[in-house]
Amino acid sequence: MVRVRFAPSPTGYLHIGSARTALFNWMYARAQGGKFILRIEDTDKGRSKNEFLDEILDSMKWLGLSWDECYKQSDRFDIYRKYAQKLLDEGKAYKDGEAVLLKVPQKQIKIYDLIRDEIVVDTKEIKDQVLMKSDGSPTYSFACVIDDALMEISCVIRGEDHISNTPKQIVIYEALGLKPPKFAHLPLILDDERARMSKRAGAVAVSEYRRQGFLPQAIVNYLMLLGWSPGNNQEKITLSAAIKNFSIKRINKAGAVFSLDKLRWLNGQYIKETDTANLTALLIPFLKEKYPTASLLDGKKLENIVQLFKGRMTTLMDFLEWTDFIFADQAQFDPEAKQKHLSQDRSKDFALLVQALEGVQDFNVKTVEEAFRRIVEQLGIPAGELVHPVRVALTGRAVGPGLFDTMAVLGKEKTVQRLKTVFK
Ligand code: GLU
C-alpha cells in the first residue's frame, strides 16, 4: 500500500517549492491508489503560528490537494517521549541536562533514493543527535522518523534540501529497530540565475500567486513540469492525464528553473478555456476589493465585459487593470497614448459624434457603430482617424477591445460625458 505524506511546518506561508513537494506526493498517491497524509510539523511552539497553518491548509485546498489523513505533531508529544525513554532504557541514548541525545554508532549508511539511486554516507560525519530538546519538545528528525514509521509511510518524497537529514534519520530508524521507508529527494527550484528560488524570480508564497490572479489549475500544471515531464514535450496537461502518466523515475535530478513567463502563459491558456460565467465569478472578489463602493453591474453585463477581455488576459489582475475605465468614475490616461492621439484638438468632431450618439435610442454595438460611421462619412475622414482619439478619450489607453464594444459596455451616459469633457 502506497502511503506518502506532506509535512509542512507552519512557520511560514506555503512556499511554491513546498507546494510542488505536496503535489508530487499527492500525484504519486493518486496514481498508485494510495493514501496522501498531511502532517503538520508544529513542534517549534515559538515559531509555529495558526495564521500560517490556516494559510497552508487554505492554499492546499485551493490547489485541490485533498488529503486522506491529517496529524499534528503537537498532539503527539507523549509518543515521542515514550520512544526517547525506550532508547534511554536500552542504553542507546543518554541525557545531557534535560535533553536526550542518541549515541551515533560508527558505520557506513546506504540510502536508496528513487531519484538519485544509492547514496552512501559515513556516520563519522554525524555527531550524536539531539532527540528531545531540554524544553521537552522533540527535534524535527526524531519526530519525523517516529511519525514516518508509525504512519507507515512507504516513500518519503521531499525537497533535496533535506538530503543531509536523511542519514541522521536512518541512524534513528536503526536505533529504534524500525524499517526506513524509501526516499525520493526532489530537485530544487532555481531562479533564472540558477540560485535557489527567491522572491526575485517571482512570488514565493502560493497565496501570493492567488492574490495576483493566477488560477489553481495553471499553478498545478506549472508545478508539475518543474522537475518532471509527461514525456512528450507536452506543457499543458490536466491533472488527471498527469496522474495516469506519473512515475517517480521520470523526475529529473537537476534543479528546475522557475519561469514566471511560462507560468503566465499557462495561466492565460486556462483563463481562455474557463467558461465566461465561471471566470466572472472568479473576478468578482477582485473587483469588490478594488471598488468596494461600485455597484458591480448585473451579472449578464459583467459577463459581457469579461468576454471582451478574456482572450488577452494572462492573469485575473489584467482584467482589473484594463477595465478601470469601466468601473472607475474617470479614465486614467496613459500619458503616451494621450500625447499621441489627443494632442490635436478634435472638439468639433467629438461634438458631432456626441450629437449623433445622444440620438441613439437603443445604445448597443450595432447602433453606435452606425452612428460613428455616419459621422466619419460626414466629416470625410477615414474611420481610423477618429477611432484612436475616441478610444483614448473613453478608456485612457491606445489599445483595448473593439471601439464599439467599448462604447456599448460603457453605456451612453459615460461615453457622451467623456467625449464632451476630454478637450475642456
Ligand atoms: N517540516 C519539514 C519541512 O517543512 C518536513 C521535511 C520532511 O518532509 O521530512 O521542511
Q: Can you spell out the DSSP letters for 241-284? A: HHHHH--GGGB-SS-EE--HHHHHHHHHHHHHHS-HHHHHHHHH
43-52 pLDDT per residue, tens: 999 999 999 9
The CATH architecture that domain 275-327 belongs to is Orthogonal Bundle (1.10)
289 Cβ contact partners less than 8 Å away, ≥ 6 residues apart: none
pLDDT at 407 over 90: yes
DSSP single-letter state for residue 205: B
Residue type present at position 85:
Q
CATH class of the region 76-186 = alpha beta
pLDDT for 69 equals 98
Distance CA 240, CA 219 (A): 15
Domain ranges of the chain: 3-73+188-264, 76-186, 275-327, 335-421
C-alpha cell at 43: 513542534
CA 364 to chain centre: 39
Ligand 1: residues within 6 Å at CB? Answer: 7-9, 41, 144, 158, 162
Residue type present at position 128:
D
- Using the atom order of ligand 1, give the atom closest to the CA of residue 158: 8
Structural fold of domain 3-73+188-264? Rossmann fold (3.40.50)
215-230 pLDDT per residue, tens: 999 999 999 999 888 8
Sign of CA dihedral 303, 309, 315, 320: negative
Q: Are 267 and 214 in contact (CB under 8 A)?
A: yes
Structural fold of domain 335-421? Arc Repressor Mutant, subunit A (1.10.10)
Topology alike, domains 3-73+188-264 and 76-186:
yes
In which band, very low, low, confident or very high, does the pLDDT at 234 lie, cut at 50, 70 and 90? confident
Q: How far is the CA of 5 from the centre of ligand 1 (A)?
A: 10
| Among protein residues, the one whose CA lies closest to atom 6 of ligand 1 | 7
Alpha-carbon dihedral angle through residues 123, 125, 128, 129, given to the nearest 10 degrees: -90
Mutate to test the pocket of ligand 1, among 41, 53, 169 (most ligand atoms within 8 A of CB): 41
In which band, very low, low, confident or very high, does the pLDDT at 9 lie, cut at 50, 70 and 90? very high
| Among protein residues, the one whose CA lies closest to atom 4 of ligand 1 | 8
| Among protein residues, the one whose CA lies closest to atom 3 of ligand 1 | 8
Q: How far is the CA of 168 from the centre of ligand 1 (A)?
A: 14
Q: How does strand 69-72 pair with strand 35-40?
A: parallel
374 Cβ contact partners less than 8 Å away, ≥ 6 residues apart: 356
pLDDT at 303 over 90: yes
Q: Which residues are known catalytic residues?
A: 199
